[in-house]
């Protein structure tokens, strides 16, 4: 018995089939936009994975400078280096002035001054 | 590689290929998937421009996860439909007015085209009738009876049980059959 107030399953399936057989078409513009988005995503992915080139000197020296405490550290290192050279070539009385008398006069050290027991050991057979 | 040479390549494999930088794979996936989800979005939103926005957004999300896609774990279509479904639901929640304007379909009036006219009228009438369904019923009916998705896939897309899908489609079909009953003559019955 056909229900007048409803389509039956067969009739409804035919309606569905009519829709399924007429899918909406994608415009060329939409296709282009989607493909362009894909290119953008690929480009971003590549950019995110490219490392710094080995020939880039700033990479190595930047890391080195960072290790010794930045440019301030470099300045301190340079100062200490120059001071060491100056101390090495300067006369002893100049060094006494530099130390402000903290160490005292530095003219000569007898081994016995440094190691009191050594005189005994040196004189013993 | 020519796009037709990619016809036998699975969605999975194409997506992984795109993740490795293959732009032909992206074009092939777009041709294969975008029209389907565009049709679904159009039937959900009844607005071609909005449906295109949703389709583009969904495909963008697909491109972005391509690098993490693992073959064999999920279906690309199921994943994409789920994204489109959620995007449509978001838009529908933001606008609660349902337009019952018929989608423009040019009728074929060439001689001897009675059956084609009926086909066009059935299609047109269905598009209008679909808009009378609640959102979830419309989603389930479109995916099952127009897009041909299986109930388990629909269940995954809508995050409900298979039994819930069957209930939605059954209620949706009944509602449509009642709405369309008054147009038997136009539908050629």
Say yes or no: ipTM exceeds 0.90: no
Question: A45 contacts in B (CB within 8 Å)?
Answer: 21, 67
In a domain, A67, yes or no: yes
Residues A35 and A75 in one domain: no
For the segment B113-127, the average pLDDT, to the nearest whole number, is: 78
Distance CA B92, CA B46 (A): 10
Residue A54 included in any domain: no
Are A30 and A75 within one domain?
Answer: no
Q: How far is A51 from chain B (nearest CA, A)?
A: 18
Q: How confident is the model at residue A62 (pLDDT cuts 50, 70, 90)?
A: low
CA gap B112, B118 in Å, rounded: 12
Mean pLDDT of A47-57: 66
For residue A40, is it within any domain? yes
What does the pLDDT read at residue A48? 79
A64 and A19 together in one domain:
no
Is A101 among the domain residues? yes
Mutate to test the interface with B, among A9, A10, A19 (most CBs of B within 10 A): A19
Residue A24 CA, chain-centre distance (Å), reads 52
If asked whether residues A68 and A93 sit together in one domain, one would say: yes
Phi, psi of A16 (to 5 degrees): -60, -40
How many contacts does A have with B, using Cβ atoms within 8 A?
A: 114
- The answer to whether B128 touches B100, Cβ cutoff 8 Å, is yes
> Is the Cβ–Cβ distance between B57 and A37 less than 8 Å?
no
Residue A73 belongs to domain spanning: 60-124
The 3-state secondary structure of chain B reads: CCHHHHCCCCHHHHHHHHHCCCHHHHHHHHHHHHHHHHHHHHHHHCCHHHHHHHHHHHHHHHHHHHHHCCCCCCCHHHHHHHHHHHHHHHHHHHCCCCCCCCCCCCCCCCCCCHHHHHHHHHHHHHHHHHCCCCHHHHHHHHHHHHCCCCHHHHHHHHCCCHHHHHHHHHHHHHHHHHHHHCCHHHHCC
Asked if B18 lies within 8 A of A42 by C-beta distance, the reply is yes
Yes or no, beta carbons of B180 and A12 under 8 Å apart: yes
Q: Which of A42, A48, A50 to mutate to test the interface with B (most CBs of B within 10 A)?
A: A42
pLDDT in tens, A104-122: 444 555 555 555 565 555 5
Q: How far apart are CA B59 and CA B82, in angstroms?
A: 12
Q: Does some domain include residue A3?
A: no
Q: Is A5 part of a structural domain of the chain?
A: no
Statement to judge: residues A64 and A116 lie in one domain: yes
Pair of tokens at residue A13: 């399936």
Based on the fold, state whether residues A82 and A115 are members of the same structural domain: yes
Asked if residue B5 has pLDDT above 70, the reply is yes
Do A90 and A45 reside in the same domain of the chain? no
Tally of domains within chain A: 2
Using a 10 angstrom Cβ sphere, with 0-12 exposed, 13-18 middle and 19 or more buried, the burial of residue B148 is exposed
pLDDT winner (highest mean) among B7-11, B95-99, B171-175: B171-175
B122 to chain A: which residues are within 8 Å by CB?
14-15, 18-19
Confidence of residue A59 (pLDDT cuts 50, 70, 90): low
Q: Once rounded to an integer, what is the mean pLDDT over residues B23-33?
A: 96
Pick the residue from chain B with its C-alpha nearest to A46: B21
The Cα–Cα gap between A56 and A71 comes to 19
Which residues in chain B are closer than 8 Å to A32, comparing Cβ atoms? none
Closest Cβ opposite residue A37 in set B31, B59, B67 = B59
d(Cα B16, Cα B71) in Å, to the nearest integer? 8
Q: Is the pLDDT of residue B167 over 80?
A: yes
| A70 and A35 in a common domain | no
User: What pLDDT was estimated at residue B109?
Assistant: 45
Task: Tell me how far apart the alpha carbons of residues B154 and B156 are, in angstroms, rounded to a whole number.
Answer: 5
Q: pLDDT (tens digit, 9 = 90+) per residue, A65-101?
A: 667 677 777 677 777 777 677 667 665 555 555 554 4
Are A37 and A88 in a shared domain? no
Whether A102 has a pLDDT exceeding 50, the answer reads no
Same domain, A15 and A36: yes
Kindly report, residue by residue over B84-102, the tens digit of the pLDDT: 999 999 999 987 655 544 4
Predicted local distance difference test score (pLDDT) of residue B106: 44
Cβ separation of A30 and B55 shorter than 8 Å?
yes
pLDDT of residue A97: 53
Q: Residue B60: is its pLDDT beyond 90?
A: yes
Q: What is the pLDDT of residue B57?
A: 98
- Are residues A40 and A69 part of one domain? no
Task: Determine, yes or no, domain membership for A2.
Answer: no
Average pLDDT, chain B: 88
Domain contains A20: yes
What is the pTM (predicted TM-score) of this model? Answer: 0.68
Domain match, A84 and A43 both: no
CA distance A83 to chain B (A): 57
- Report the pLDDT value the prediction gives residue B78, as an integer from 0 to 100: 96
């Amino acid at each position: 018995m056909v229900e007048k107030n409803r389509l039956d399953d067969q009739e409804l399936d035919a309606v569905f089939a009519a829709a399924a057989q007429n899918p909406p078409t994608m415009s060329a513009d939409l296709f282009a936009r989607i493909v362009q988005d894909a290119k953008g995503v690929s480009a971003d992915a590549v950019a995110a994975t490219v490392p710094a080139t080995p020939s880039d000197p700033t990479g190595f020296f930047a890391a080195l400078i960072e290790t010794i405490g930045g440019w301030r550290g470099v300045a301190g290192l340079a100062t200490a280096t120059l001071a060491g050279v100056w101390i090495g070539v300067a006369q002893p009385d100049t060094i006494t002035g530099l130390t402000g008398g903290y160490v005292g006069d530095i003219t000569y050290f007898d081994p016995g001054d440094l190691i009191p027991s050594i005189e005994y050991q040196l004189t013993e057979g | 590689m020519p796009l037709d040479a990619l016809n036998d390549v699975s969605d999975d494999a194409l997506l992984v290929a795109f993740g490795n930088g293959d732009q032909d794979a992206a074009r092939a996936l777009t041709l294969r998937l975008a029209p389907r989800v565009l049709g679904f979005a159009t039937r959900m939103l009844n607005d071609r421009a909005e449906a295109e926005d949703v389709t583009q957004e969904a495909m963008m999300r697909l491109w972005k996860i391509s690098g993490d896609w693992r073959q064999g774990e999920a279906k690309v279509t199921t994943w994409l439909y789920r994204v489109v479904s959620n995007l449509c639901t978001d838009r529908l929640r933001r606008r609660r007015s349902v337009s019952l304007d018929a989608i423009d379909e040019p009728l074929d009036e060439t001689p001897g085209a009675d059956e084609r006219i009926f086909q066009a009228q059935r299609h047109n009438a269905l598009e209008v009738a679909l808009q009378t369904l609640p959102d979830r019923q419309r989603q389930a009916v479109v995916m099952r009876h127009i897009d041909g998705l299986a109930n388990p896939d629909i269940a995954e897309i809508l995050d409900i049980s298979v039994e819930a899908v069957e209930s939605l489609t059954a209620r949706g079909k009944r509602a449509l059959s009642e709405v369309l009953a008054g147009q038997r003559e136009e539908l050629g019955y």
